[in-house]
Amino acid sequence: MSALVRETVRLAGGREQAVLRGGRGPVLVWLHGLGGVTPDDPAALALAERWSVVAPVAPGFDRDEDAADLRGVHDLALRADDLFEALGLEGALVAGHSFGAMLAAELAAHAPRRVARLLLVSPLGWWRDDEPAADFFAVPPGSDASPYRRTPPEAVERARRAVARVLWPLPDKGLRRRLYRVRARSVVLSGDRDPFVPASYARDLAAGLGGAPCVVEAGAGHDLPYERPDAVAAALDALRAA
């Protein structure tokens, strides 16, 4: 598969946002995780084998100033709504990983008509006091658990800032209270070796989405789309067929 192609989309309000595109087939919006997305991202390229992938670069991952006025998760969700408006997307198939899965769920809760089908892979956004997840903001640099192993070194700090701006110090920003608004047919996919998203979080989230199917992959970690691309492909097929 050839690399994704980068383009700049103009949003209402005078802002711009980068989007990577590639592949063939029905349109799939892919919202990247903590480490960001590049034109040769293996997870996005695997999806592009069977889908026309539209992969926005989340605000701040490219340039800090794009995120300077994001003061919380509502601003972030509205920015995603602005992008969908600019791209003419309604009733879309949206899949997200980690931070991107949280963003996908927030978009579906804030602007339900944008999302008809929703795949949440290793989704952040949840918290349980009885099972506190590991702190993805305090992973030793270079460790096996680092979500930045695939991120170009010069982009790591920018990626961390972009997420921390909205998610610090832990990622429960009230998604639970808004889930009732989501109308999309949803699937949650998660790994049982994920330190940042325990399986119970994935199950809770699926339950909150009206009893959506929840698939917990044995042996998979937080980077599930890179570790188990077939599981993501299978979940998308199931979602499309449903």
CB nearer other proteins, residue 166 or residue 212? 166
Tokens of 5: 């192609």
Least distance (Å) between residue 101 CB and other proteins: 20
| Least Cβ distance, residue 125 to other proteins (angstroms) | 17
Contact present, 203 and 214 (Cβ < 8 Å): yes
We find the least distance from the C-beta atom of residue 216 to other proteins, in angstroms, to be 28
CB of 91 vs other proteins, minimal distance in Å: 34
**Residues binding other proteins: number (CB under 8 A):** 16
* Per-position x/- string for 6-25, each x denoting binding to other proteins as judged by CB under 8 A, each - no binding: --------------------
Instruction: Give the relative orientation of helices 156-167 and 73-87 as an angle to the nearest 10 degrees.
Output: 110
Show contacts with other proteins in window 113-142 (CB under 8 A): 137-141
> Cβ distance 66 to 59 under 8 Å?
yes
Q: According to CB under 8 A, which one of 15, 63, 74, 161 is a site residue for other proteins?
A: 161
Residue 62 is encoded by which pair of tokens?
A: 């490219």
Is position 79 an interface residue for other proteins (rule: CB under 8 A)? Answer: no
Question: Among 44-52, 160-168, 195-203, 209-217, which window interacts with other proteins (CB under 8 A)?
Answer: 160-168
Least distance (Å) from other proteins to the CB of residue 187? 30
Radius of gyration of the chain (CA): 16
Residues from 36 through 75 that contact other proteins (CB under 8 A): 71
Single-letter amino acid, residue 222 = H
Residue ranges in contact with other proteins by CB under 8 A: 71, 137-141, 154, 157-158, 160-161, 163-165, 168-169
